[in-house]
Amino acid sequence: MLRVAITGAVGRMGKTLIETVQTSPQMVLTAAVDRPDSSLIGADVGEVVGLDKIGIQIVGDLTQVLDSFDVLIDFTHPTVTLKNIEICCKAKKAMVIGTTGFNSAERGQLEAACNTIPIVFAANFSVGVNLCFKLVETAARVLGNDVDIEIIEAHHRDKVDAPSGTALRMGEVVADALGRDLAKVAVYGREGQTGARTREAIGFATIRAGDIVGEHTVLFAADGERIEITHKASSRMTFAKGAARSARWVVGKPAGLYDMQDVLGLK
């Protein structure tokens, strides 16, 4: 039985991950961590997330439960994830990371940790989105420089980073396929006298509203026709199932940086 710890346990993804792990016959939740000053520290995590009591109390410090798990699933915040990476490196524990919003220095720290432990890191754990990455790559290669490419994403009102990690990954896939440097060609939102767009630009537009789980469109617009590749998530369960699958896959792998494409065998 794979022993799983979850950080951000009472967050939107944490709750969904706990339900997913608890209903998986190959996995058992053995630790649940949330912020140290949470009023829920000490409470039974099953009850807190709306299931029956499961006998696992929420703790505020990952180091207290280090002996209890084989793999940590972390969907929190970049600063929290980086602290957890440090702890997991010392204890040689595998990780699955879904947190988005890392800046380039933070991303460098995450990548450095992969010399010590195996980490599956993906901006999106849905199988459908990972298929879309492939479709987007193919579309970019076929349509090449004859189209304008824009990426539109929509999420719930409480999302704290923009553009979404998935939108940025889609931008990287397009840029790589076309030999462009995303840092040079990305345009994040437009306002005022912007001038005409260049062909090379990869535009990003962000919507934050209501309870939208996550929607992404890559638009390839030519003169006379356009192609739109769209993914719409209607439940966080799709991300949680992918993360649980990644947790089963990563334990026992050599130290390294992996993503959902590795887990799905799409590389």
Ligand X SMILES: O=C(O)C1=N[C@H](C(=O)O)C[C@H](O)C1
Ligand Y SMILES: NC(=O)C1=CN([C@@H]2O[C@H](COP(=O)(O)OP(=O)(O)OC[C@H]3O[C@@H](n4cnc5c(N)ncnc54)[C@H](OP(=O)(O)O)[C@@H]3O)[C@@H](O)[C@H]2O)C=CC1
Q: Does 11 bind ligand Y (CB under 6 A)?
A: yes
User: What are residue 188's DSSP bridge partners?
Assistant: 204
Nearest distance from C-beta of residue 62 to ligand Y, angstroms: 7
Which helix (H) or strand (E) element contains residue 188?
strand 186-188
Using an 8 Å Cβ cutoff, are 246 and 125 in contact?
Answer: yes
Binding residues with ligand Y: total (CB under 6 A): 25
Stretch that binds ligand Y, among 43-51, 92-100, 105-113, 183-191 (CB under 6 A): 92-100
Contact partner at residue 155 from ligand X, ligand Y, none, CB < 5 to 8 Å by partner kind: ligand X
Nearest to 249 by CA among 110, 111, 125: 125
Stretch that binds ligand X, among 27-35, 138-146, 158-166, 259-267 (CB under 6 A): 158-166
102, 239, 249, 258: residue in contact with ligand Y (rule CB under 6 A): 239
Binding residues with ligand X: total (CB under 6 A): 9
Using an 8 Å Cβ cutoff, are 3 and 69 in contact?
Answer: yes
User: Phi first, then psi: what are they for 60, rounded to 5°?
Assistant: -105, 5
Tokens representing 49 are: 């997330």
8, 78, 203, 214: residue in contact with ligand X (rule CB under 6 A): 214
100 annotated ligand-binding residue: yes
Nearest to 18 by CA among 36, 6, 2: 6
Task: Name the CA dihedral angle for 159, 257, 167, 19, rounded to a multiple of 10 degrees.
Answer: -40
Alpha-carbon gap, residue 73 to 229, rounded angstroms: 29
Question: Given the DSSP bridges, would you call strands 148-155 and 214-221 parallel, antiparallel or unpaired?
Answer: antiparallel
Q: Which is nearer to ligand Y, 190 or 232 (CB)?
A: 232
Contact partner at residue 34 from ligand Y, ligand X, none, CB < 5 to 8 Å by partner kind: ligand Y
User: What are residue 29's DSSP bridge partners?
Assistant: 4
Name the residues that contact ligand Y, by CB under 6 A.
7-8, 10-14, 33-35, 38, 75-77, 80, 98-101, 122-125, 165, 239
Known binding site for NAD(+): residues? Answer: 8-13, 34, 98-100, 122-125
Name the residues that contact ligand X, by CB under 6 A.
100, 123-124, 155, 159, 164-166, 214
Instruction: Indicate which residues carry an active-site annotation.
Output: 155, 159
